[in-house]
Amino acid sequence: MNSDGPGNSHVITRIISLSIKNFRGFPGEHKIDTNADLVLLSGPNGYGKTSFMEALLLLLTGYRYAKRSELLINKNAKDFEIGAKIKLDGKDKGKSSLSISYDRDTSESLEELWFKSLASCVGEPQIRESELNSRLCGFFQDRVEALFDETTSGATLRDIFEPLPKWLKDADDYLRYKESGEGGHRDLGEAASELKRKLENFEKEWNARDNYFVNRIDNWPDNKVVLELNQTWDGFIPLYASLVNGSEGWPEPPKQANNKNLTGFTLKVLRKTGNRLPTSGTEETCSNLPDLLISSLNRELDHQLKKTRREAARTTPDSRKIQERLDETNAEIERIRKKFPNLDEELGLFRTDSKGLPDLKPIFLALSENVSRWAKTPIHEGHLSRVKEELEAVVATEAEKCAKLLDEWLTPREEAKEEIIKLERKITELKRKLKASLASDEIDHLKKLKKDLDICLKALKRPWSEMRERQGWQEEKQRREGVREYLKSTLSLIERASMAIESVSSPNHELMEKFRKLIQDVLSRFSLVDNIVPLKLNDKERLNATKKDEVRRSYSIVTKDGRRLGDLSTGQKAQMAVSVLAAQNLAISHMLHHRIILLDDVTTAYDLSNLTREAILWRQLAYGGQEERARRQVFISSHHEDMTNHFLDLLVPPEGRSMRLIRFTGWDPKDGPRYKQFKIEPTGATLKDGELAERTQNLIKDLGTGPWRLL
């Protein structure tokens, strides 16, 4: 351990003196000199030793074993105060005193008060948790159970060194991917389970499809499909030619039938007929392309049929007869026209140009029939006499003759004209009938074409669709590889991530081993029964102590023969607790803000035979290191008189180190504890230069005077 390593800039290396006022068994004010490397407190139970230790623990760590802070106040007072004159070791010298006071009316918690007090003295502690701080420095025999990480609900040493964030555990749960060799047992989180299920479902589906196609190919081999396609295509080409009948814009059908050619042709037909592909799928993947071709051509045929039918609806068939009648009628017209080559001109000769006036013939007829009467008409007005004269000049019989002559010349011509008009009407009608008769044949032709095309296209669809499906299957098989690779890559990534998470969440074995060795080294100073060491430490997740954002973990202690903490005797548990405390204190020293160890009633954990071993450890901690930061100020209390005296002998400090004995001799409710304080002189402290070597030689000489002989 590097005592000058990273850590608090100020470290409390010594409690020079401690003042206690109205705290637990200390009514009134008491000031106790503690300025020594090791302070031994002795005296019977109930004389204030534990109150002294608890006061020091509260001042250093903010922790109280009492359930409520008020219980710490002496029953005759309403507040308490603990203060210490301290020695600081650090780059900057900080305050030389530390204190904490509490009264019943204060709103702040003891922990908050402690934190403030400490922060103003040595800066904010790296370990904030009071309870953990207390377990790192204070042993209390009557609360030995609370000294172990595995039994506390608070933070632990592991939580400081290797905190496990809850998100990491959540990620571990979700991405977990464990496969054990035995029976292929798997422990999978949601992600791997989902992906495996997905892949399995795919494989099942793919397998079914493969079987389906293999069966189909067995029954209908590929070469036969190709043959059938080409045969039906050959039948399609003339039907198609008949359908388009030389119309512009229709695509040329490919000579060879394969999916690529047919697809291209179909797309061109669709464009020509104004059809579009369905929104789902591409030109290549559109599964109903054959159906689209069929429906497209059918629609074109239907369109043509509809148009032709409309024509045919107004007519009757038998065009040949109509044509003959048409020819006859035309010949009759020709014959008339030959007889009266200038018929229309001749008919116009005696017609009046002016509108509303009669032609010449009726004029003659009118004169022949009426002129005699008109001439006899009495005329009184002079100016009409001229009309009468003219009428009297007309010969009625001559007028009649003219009318007759004109009628004989005009009548055959007028009749010829009427006949021509009649024949022409007849021709129009016959032409219409002839046209209708011809449309009816077209309908029959189109109907037959539709039927043939339908049969052909359906025949074409079967091998073509099959070919397309098989081609789609082959393409799908290629895509499957992509899916497999993708899902397997993802699973592989999850497996790696899961292993990484497990690895980083798993105990820091190096740390665990160091810590185990530390505990064991301290523990082995006790004279242990067999099967305790070597110890094992197990990883323990304390679910009951899980924090909001962090999973609490600790090590659980197991002895060589598999006994856990709960299986140990009281003495063994106490020995284990002392060892764990010393080990933790040393392990985490660089993060602690003080170098104090408190051991209340610790001799209970010891047999007489352990005393020497433990004394050596405390001597090393209290007297050993050259630098103050490397040493501990050790406070030990004991109520066992014999053991205390023996301990006292064993802890006598060497030259340059110091020890104090505080002997509690009585207690009363008003004044609290009575105690005597002693400074224990270091051994050899009075020796002058050279005397140590002389004493040592004396010792060597004396050794050879007994039953043992110098060699």
Partner 1 sequence: MDKEDGLQKFLLKNEGGEWVRLKCTWLIAQEIYMSDICIAVHLVPRQPRDSAQWSLEGAREELYTFLRWLGHLAMEEDLVRPVAGVASEDDFKKFGTIALNGVKQWGADQEWHRGSFTFYLEKDDKKVKERLADLLDPTPEIIDRYEPEKARDEEYYLEYILEDSKPLEIKDRNIGLYNSLMNSLGSLALAKGRSSALKEWLNGVLNAADKIGEGVS
Taking CB under 8 A as the criterion, which residues in 265-324 touch partner 1?
Answer: 285
Site for partner 1 in 337-396 (CB under 8 A): none
The stretch near partner 1 (CB under 8 A) out of 43-51, 311-319, 355-363, 683-691 is: 683-691
Bridge partners (DSSP) listed for residue 179:
186
707 touches partner 1 by CB under 8 A: yes
C-alpha distances out from residue 169 to 187, 200, 496, 542, Å? 15, 28, 16, 13
Q: By CB neighbour count within 10 A (0-12 exposed, 13-18 middle, 19+ buried), where does 51 fall?
A: buried
Q: Which is nearer to partner 1, 25 or 125 (CB)?
A: 125
Bridge partners (DSSP) listed for residue 88:
12
Nearest to 508 by CA among 101, 53, 160: 160
C-alpha distances out from residue 393 to 160, 325, 369, Å? 157, 56, 15
Site for partner 1 in 550-589 (CB under 8 A): 582-583, 586-587
Q: Which of 167, 212, 409, 678 binds partner 1 (CB under 8 A)?
A: 167
How is residue 407 written in tokens?
A: 């009628």
499 touches partner 1 by CB under 8 A: yes
Helix axes 396-505, 360-375, angle to 10 degrees: 140
475 touches partner 1 by CB under 8 A: yes
Q: Which is nearer to partner 1, 343 or 630 (CB)?
A: 630
547 touches partner 1 by CB under 8 A: no
Q: Which of 107, 397, 544, 626 binds partner 1 (CB under 8 A)?
A: 626
Q: SS3 sequence, 31-88?
A: EEECCCCEEEEECCCCCCHHHHHHHHHHHHHCCCCCCCHHHHECCCCCEEEEEEEEEE
CB of 50 to partner 1, least distance (A): 24
Q: Which of 14, 64, 516, 646 binds partner 1 (CB under 8 A)?
A: 646
Q: Which is nearer to partner 1, 412 or 654 (CB)?
A: 654
Q: Which of 104, 187, 373, 486 binds partner 1 (CB under 8 A)?
A: 486
Using CB under 8 A as the binding criterion, the count of chain residues that bind partner 1 stands at 109
CB of 465 to partner 1, least distance (A): 19
Amino acid at 667: W
The stretch near partner 1 (CB under 8 A) out of 130-138, 213-221, 473-481, 568-576 is: 473-481
Q: Which is nearer to partner 1, 450 or 631 (CB)?
A: 631
Q: 271 and 427 in contact (C-beta within 8 Å)?
A: no
Helix axes 166-175, 396-505, angle to 10 degrees: 120
Q: Which is nearer to partner 1, 135 or 553 (CB)?
A: 553
Q: Which of 76, 106, 377, 620 binds partner 1 (CB under 8 A)?
A: 620
The stretch near partner 1 (CB under 8 A) out of 27-35, 65-73, 160-168, 300-308 is: 160-168
| Site mask for partner 1 (CB under 8 A), range 108-147, x = bound | ----------------------------------------
530 touches partner 1 by CB under 8 A: yes
CB of 307 to partner 1, least distance (A): 43
Catalogue the E-assigned strands of 104-194: 138-140, 164-165, 177-179, 186-188
CB of 491 to partner 1, least distance (A): 10
Amino acid at 246: G
24 touches partner 1 by CB under 8 A: no
Q: Which of 226, 350, 617, 663 binds partner 1 (CB under 8 A)?
A: 617
DSSP run (H or E) holding 304: helix 289-312
CB of 43 to partner 1, least distance (A): 21
Query: What's CA 359's distance to the chain center, in Å?
Result: 107
DSSP characters over 307-375: HHHHHHTT--S-HHHHHHHHHHHHHHHHHHHHHSTTHHHHHHTTS-SSTT---HHHHHHHHHHHHHHHH
